[in-house]
Amino acid sequence: MGHDSLRMEIMYRRFCELNPERALSRGGEEILKDNGLDGGEPALDTSSKESIDITIEAVCVRGGLYEVDVRNKECYSVYWNPVAAQTRCYSPIEKKQSNLGVRSQAFRSLSSLQPMPVNVTSVVFLKCRSAIHSVQLSRSHVDWYGVDEVYLYSDATTSKIARTVTQKLGFSKASSSGTRLHRGFVEEASLDDKPPQTTHIVFVVHGIGQKMDKDRIIKNTGMLREAVRKMEEKHFAEQTEEHVEFLPVEWRSKLALDGDTVESITPDKVRGLRDLLNSSAMDIMYYTSPLYRDEITNGLTQELNRLYSLFCSRNPEFESRGGKVSIISHSLGCVITFDIMTGWDPVRFCLQEHRDQLKGEDLHWTTHEERHLLEEVQLTRQRLRELQDQLQGLKAAKPTPFPTLTFKVENFFCMGSPLAVFLALRGIRPGNTGDQDHIMPKSICRRLFNIFHPTDPVAYRLEPLVLKHYSNIAPVQIHWCNTISPTPYDEIRPSHLSVSKSAASDTENGSSPSSSPVLATRHYGESITSLGKASILGAASISKGIGGILFSRFSRSPSLPSAVDSGIGDSEDSQSTFAFSAISPSSLFDAAVEMEHRIDYELREGLVESRYWSAVTSHTAYWTSHDVALFLLTFIYKQQSTDQTQNTSPM
């Protein structure tokens, strides 16, 4: 941007003025000469030069995402790790030769020549003349034919062959394979050429597989940012006072977890496949382990808070101007982020269930002596917990409170999310109102969005966990980015799924795994609901042994007939279990109730898209989708404009 270019140039010129000796070694002769410091004034002493060199400030560019060090000519990212080179030219010359036009004595002597008259004959034979001056670089060379005629040539074998052939055909060397270099600019830089101040930051949280490719989330965020910028130029050009910035959140690389224990027990056979699984799917096992779950949640929470504090320190007016924060999470990152925002802790939950079970045992004690013994046992357990807490305090290992975010989340966008399965296994059941609070309280997050591709094997729907009959209502279709005058999302009426159409669309080429006989339509929530009930009841019956847990979990598998249908269920436990299933709130549901705000949003399939290939690639296709980028901007800008309208409306 013009603003960034001018600020970098001003800082570089200041550096050359304050450090003339170092500037001479970096190709700053022209700047020193322009400012009258080339040989005419004494150089600064070493002590002052070092002190001044330290005070050279880094230049923030690209909306504050990067800092440019004009001394070392490097560009550092502020919020993540990779370093990029920075030069003073937009040319194909390498960084070390970027000051070629400034340093070359031949160029300075040529620039002092007077323009020579050119007649028709000289023009005809211009392409046949030889270079006045040439400079050899590492993998290329530069030829000067005049003050404004400078060409860069590659020394690769293919380029040499091409030049030889074209010159024998009568073409000039420059026109055959040369790249013309210009000292100047295509467009004059302006301080007004800069983005507006950031009014909305979006943290992008990755899922599994980050250990395999540590910088993948940075690349994915870059692709998403690029798609968003294109959609901004096309659909939101009038938004000149607002700016949305996307910041990657990389939480995996800082975790220790089990160290290299898993690596040490991994067999050598099929090592590549095993390493792939250890670097990706193992993250799911880590998170479901009580031993490592807290380390993961703490790591992500600390990284989110660190990035937010860093951003606010570099943008002090962000909070005072009412800046907002949203989170985009992908895959397993949706579950981790959800648990951090809501404070879900399975260990606390199991302990509470265990305490409730102990309280329920009071009903079985009938004699005074038994009640007295029970009270003694409870007092002993309480005293034991107090001693354990004291011991942990002495060892400085007392567990810290559950980590919390230091900012309010405006929108939570889930992409390719398995969150619905996790919630179902935790006992979340459909209610009788369409409020988002049933899953995510609006006091924690204003809007929840579940974005998924129809063939993404990892993604699941959330709406049937809020209202059961929404299992038969189609998710909202995300508009194509080139749709003209699309219907606003909040005005799209719910539409029922067509069983015949969905069954027909699942069959391709007449023979496929999906061409098996179509089963009877089942509510979306039934399968995961049954698993969730079994899981929660199994957790509540820890003291009854592994056998009871396994029975309670798998006895009502969707693929098997239930005990009610088969007449099985003689035991007291099975009777109470299936009685709970029989009086499910689903019988009280009102199909006329609608969602307050839709949560499930589905990408449209391509017209010539292979469903089987799409099932492999769809889980990572969100980053480059212009449809997703436009969808994000639609709700982010819509909410900001709504808030501004409310703030400016008279009381």
Residues classed as catalytic: 331
C-alpha gyration radius of the chain: 33
Tell me whether strands 74-77 and 83-85 are parallel, antiparallel or unpaired: antiparallel
Tokens representing 310 are 């860093």
Identify the DSSP state of 155: -
Query: Where in 520-616 does DSSP place strands (E)?
Result: 600-602
> What CA–CA distances, in Å, run from 48 to 29, 44, 72?
20, 7, 19
CB 454 within 8 A of CB 426: no
Q: What are phi and psi of 249, to 5 degrees?
A: -120, 105
Strands (E), 45-107: 59-61, 66-69, 74-77, 83-85
Which of 446, 445, 481, 63 shows the shortest CA–CA distance to 243? 63
Distance CA(580)–CA(461), nearest Å, equals: 24
Burial class from Cβ neighbours inside 10 Å (0-12, 13-18, 19+) for residue 77 reads middle
Helices (H), 172-214: 173-177
Beta bridge partners of 118: none
The enclosing H or E element of 392 equals helix 368-394
Q: What are the Cα distances from residue 457, in Å, to 70, 146, 158, 474?
A: 48, 63, 46, 18
What is the C-alpha separation between 2 and 402, in angstroms, rounded? 46
Whether residue 577 contacts residue 552, with contact meaning beta carbons closer than 8 Å, is answered with yes
**Among 292, 291, 413, 245, which Cα is nearest to 341's?**
413
307 Cβ neighbours under 8 A, 6+ residues apart: 79, 203, 247, 249
Q: What are the backbone dihedrals phi and psi of residue 324, each rounded to the nearest 5 degrees, phi first?
A: -115, 160
The residue behind tokens 């009014």 is 199
Question: HSE on the CB side for 190, CA within 13 Å?
Answer: 7
Torsion of CA 646, 648, 650, 651, to 10 degrees: 50
Compute the distance between CA of residue 213 and CA of residue 281 in angstroms, rounded to an integer.
14
In angstroms, the CA 116 to CA 608 distance is 62
3-state secondary structure of 583: coil
Pairing of strands 445-452, 476-477: unpaired
